[in-house]
Chains A and B, each alone.
Chain A
Amino acid sequence: MIIKSNPDEIQNYLTDASNYSGKCEAVYIPESEQEIVEIVSRCNADKTKITVAGNGTGLTGGRVPEGGIVLSTEKLNKILEINSNDKYAVVQPSVLLNEFQEEVESRNLFYPPDPTERNCYIGGTVATNASGARTFKYGPTRSYVLGLKIVLPDGRKLRIERGQFIADGSHAIIPTEDGSIISFELPNYEMPATKNAAGYYCKEKMDMIDLFIGSEGTLGIITEIKLKLIDLPKNILSCIIFFNSQEDALDFVEEAVRLSRYTDDSIISARGLELFDKFTLKFLRSDYSNIPENAEAAVWFEQEIDGNEDELISEWMELISKHNGMEEDSWIANDRKEMDKFKDFRHAIALKVNDYMSQRGLKKVGTDVAVPFESFKGFYFDTIKLVCEAGLNYVVYGHAGDSHIHLNMLPDNAEQYNKAIETYRQICSNAVKLKGTVSAEHGIGKLKREYFKLMYNDDVIKKMALIKLAFDTNRILNIGNIFDEKYLT
């Protein structure tokens, strides 16, 4: 085990990609599950707070400590097994997602969850139930977690497989490895039917493994993960289509979603549908000079080809021309390399915006809201109107197929920043009114707790806190994630 306490050496562990930063006394880097048990047991005895660190790509301050120690899982980074016959893999938490996916794909297998930032640990993606473009077809990380090994905040160990512990109505019973039992009542609240990463996953008769996925490290430290794999789809149609108007682009997305999800006899079945608005394209133009001058929006879509390619392309072409897409200027990836370039195009924007703002010493204010499909278009234009009325610059991009957008407001000064925060709150509140979520994929962490309260009243949040207390009586693990410490009484 490595222990670091030199300020220079622990600097990196005090922040994440949100730039929120905190403090801690030391960083513990265990090299085995046993060492994790030792650290946790000791901290539990003297009530020292522990914050679990993944690779720090989170956007909500989830891994940022506010005192106590940091426990980094970085040394637990081995792929333990890839089973091609039964199509599963067993990994330690700090295997990098992109390296795992490469390894799996080299064996003709496929692990679909693809958050735009793939330089994250698999443990981090399970803790936040990460999702990405392909979630449109394949669902979020949750759909691929078959089993977890967890060290609980008091040092007990838990091993849980999907299908093993099912709640008896709203009564949850989870046996730990030493034979003791954790039991509690599951609160009854409605979760948004959208893609969602806000708060605990709770419902009657649930599979208890789902409680841990997306719980942002508040219930235990994930030390091993068993993941479901599927066969690698070989032929993929990957295109970027430009539009002269945003309306056209949104109509195109809407119809593509309808055909993909709700129309049985259509051969159109996208696996991802991503939107870029005109300001996003403006940012990207310096690196991608081929973006047509008059493009006001773009949509990137992917579909796996398993039938007649010509027929499929014709169907898409029809849809593109119906919605006035710039067919001649569309981009289609010819090979794997170009497919990756399109992925980079999508990844580049988040980084470019962050660079642009940090170079100016400014902070962006970015949404992670999703709403139900029926409300998406109206919500989209209402949101843009709000931001324009506030006089703020912005860019919008994101997983439009899942009715989930990242609208980044780019304030120029402190006054505008406050305005952006106010607008952000209004956007979240509008999303919640439409039965949407304030966080579809990044989680709540420490930075979105206020907005989480727009989704659930104090009473519900207290019930969630009771779940945490069932695992963490001494209130030591990832304190401050999802809800404020004050709820833990």
Chain B
Amino acid sequence: MKIAVCLNHVPDTASKISVGQDNQSIDTSGVTFVVNPYDEFAVEEALKTKEKVGGDTVVISLGNDNNKESIKKALAMGVDNAVLLKTNEIYDSLSVAKILANEIKTQNAEIVFFGKQSVDYDNGAVGQMCAELLGYNSVSVVVGLEINGNKVRAEREIEGGREIVETELPVVITTQKGLNEPRYASLKGIMAAKKKIIDEKIPENCSNYTETISMKKPPAKQPGRIIGTDATAVPELIRLLKEEVKVI
């Protein structure tokens, strides 16, 4: 059984993001990049699945040399093999899905894990698109998973509750916080990862389906207003909440 996990290398959500000079992309200088947080659950689930059903795990990442940092982390956690689909292009969701689907096909992977969304553009679409392109079953935003033989039983979060979905392999699962607690690499894992080779491939050229016309930051928040510092300010506060903000 081949288990694939797709991994994105994204700006840390704690970094300050600014728009680049071209007004079409973000300025990456001074921004720290990390493994997409939801992808960490995907890596962990891939490893747990391997521990249970056996097989081989492969991490696939699309991006430039910097992505190797995140790939290495997955390898140190215990993933067996790695593919970097090397490009400097910035692709939209469908293009990314096409490129990844191609590689998943090459790898012949029957279980594929994605994070439920990648926190750079937050579209939350690539996993499902990939499943569609591959003709695989797909369950997204998964918080519980059991795989027995060919059978897949997944729990997903829905508004106000949980939904249980039963399906079959091959399957694409997108992972949500709560599914597991990603392990830390061990010293042994780090040493082993150093010996693993990252297979670098040039992805087939692919054109975007959407065009970014321009990017801009949301308008700055208006500063707060201090109406007073003691009880005498309460009537005015109530008046403003009623008449101006209209929340009471």
Q: Let me know if B191 and A313 touch, CB within 8 A.
A: yes
CB neighbours (8 Å) of A289 from chain B are 181
A310 and B69 alpha carbons, distance in the complex (Å): 17
Which residues of A from 321 to 380 have beta carbons under 8 Å from B? Answer: 327-338
Residue B107 at the chain A interface, CB threshold 8 Å: no
Residue B147 at the chain A interface, CB threshold 8 Å: no
A239 and B187 alpha carbons, distance in the complex (Å): 8
Residue A320 at the chain B interface, CB threshold 8 Å: yes
User: Taking A290-B181, A310-B194 as contacts, is the C-beta distance between A334 and B76 under 8 angstroms?
Assistant: yes
Report which of B32, B185, B230 forms a contact with A334, defined as CB distance below 8 A: B185
Residue A317 at the chain B interface, CB threshold 8 Å: yes
Report which of A6, A316, A336 forms a contact with B187, defined as CB distance below 8 A: A316
Nearest-CB residue, chain A, relative to B185: A332
A-B contact count (CB 8 A): 53
Q: Let me know if A328 and B186 touch, CB within 8 A.
A: yes
Q: Let me know if A335 and B191 touch, CB within 8 A.
A: no
A238 and B165 alpha carbons, distance in the complex (Å): 40
Which residues of A from 271 to 312 have beta carbons under 8 Å from B? Answer: 288-290, 310
A316 and B186 alpha carbons, distance in the complex (Å): 12
Nearest-CB residue, chain B, relative to A241: B187
Q: Let me know if A331 and B32 touch, CB within 8 A.
A: no
A463 and B199 alpha carbons, distance in the complex (Å): 72
Q: Let me know if B186 and A330 touch, CB within 8 A.
A: yes
A317 and B187 alpha carbons, distance in the complex (Å): 7
Residue B188 at the chain A interface, CB threshold 8 Å: yes
A239 and B34 alpha carbons, distance in the complex (Å): 19
CB neighbours (8 Å) of A6 from chain B are 230
How big is chain A's contact interface, by range? 20 to 34
* Size of B's binding interface in residues, CB under 8 A: 19
A333 and B76 alpha carbons, distance in the complex (Å): 10
Residue B73 at the chain A interface, CB threshold 8 Å: yes
User: Taking A336-B32, A337-B34 as contacts, is the C-beta distance between A331 and B184 under 8 angstroms?
Assistant: yes
Binary A-proximity of B5-38 (CB < 8 A = 1, otherwise 0): 0000000100000000000000000001010000
CB neighbours (8 Å) of A310 from chain B are 191, 194
Q: Let me know if A313 and B187 touch, CB within 8 A.
A: yes
CB neighbours (8 Å) of A329 from chain B are 186
A327 and B188 alpha carbons, distance in the complex (Å): 7
Q: Let me know if B191 and A332 touch, CB within 8 A.
A: no
Query: A409 CB to closest chain B CB, in angstroms?
Result: 31
Residue B203 at the chain A interface, CB threshold 8 Å: no
Q: Let me know if B73 and A335 touch, CB within 8 A.
A: yes
Query: A483 CB to closest chain B CB, in angstroms?
Result: 39
Q: Let me know if A313 and B181 touch, CB within 8 A.
A: no
Q: Let me know if A338 and B32 touch, CB within 8 A.
A: no
Residue B183 at the chain A interface, CB threshold 8 Å: yes
Q: Let me know if B189 and A332 touch, CB within 8 A.
A: yes
A316 and B191 alpha carbons, distance in the complex (Å): 12
CB neighbours (8 Å) of A327 from chain B are 186-188
Nearest-CB residue, chain B, relative to A336: B32
A41 and B76 alpha carbons, distance in the complex (Å): 63
Q: Let me know if A331 and B186 touch, CB within 8 A.
A: yes
Residue B190 at the chain A interface, CB threshold 8 Å: yes
Q: Let me know if A290 and B188 touch, CB within 8 A.
A: no
Q: Let me know if A332 and B183 touch, CB within 8 A.
A: no
Query: B233 CB to closest chain A CB, in angstroms?
Result: 14
Report which of A313, A317, A332, A336 forms a contact with B184, defined as CB distance below 8 A: A332
Which residues of B from 169 to 203 have beta carbons under 8 Å from A? Answer: 181, 183-191, 194
Q: Let me know if B187 and A338 touch, CB within 8 A.
A: no
Nearest-CB residue, chain B, relative to A288: B181
Q: Let me know if B12 and A317 touch, CB within 8 A.
A: no
Q: A239-B187, A317-B187, A334-B185 are in contact. List 15 more A-B contacts (CB 8 A).
A: A290-B181, A290-B184, A310-B191, A316-B187, A317-B188, A317-B191, A320-B187, A328-B186, A330-B188, A331-B184, A332-B76, A332-B187, A334-B76, A335-B69, A337-B12
Q: Which 9 A-B pairs have the closest CB atoms?
A: A331-B184, A334-B73, A330-B186, A332-B185, A289-B181, A317-B187, A290-B181, A330-B187, A332-B187
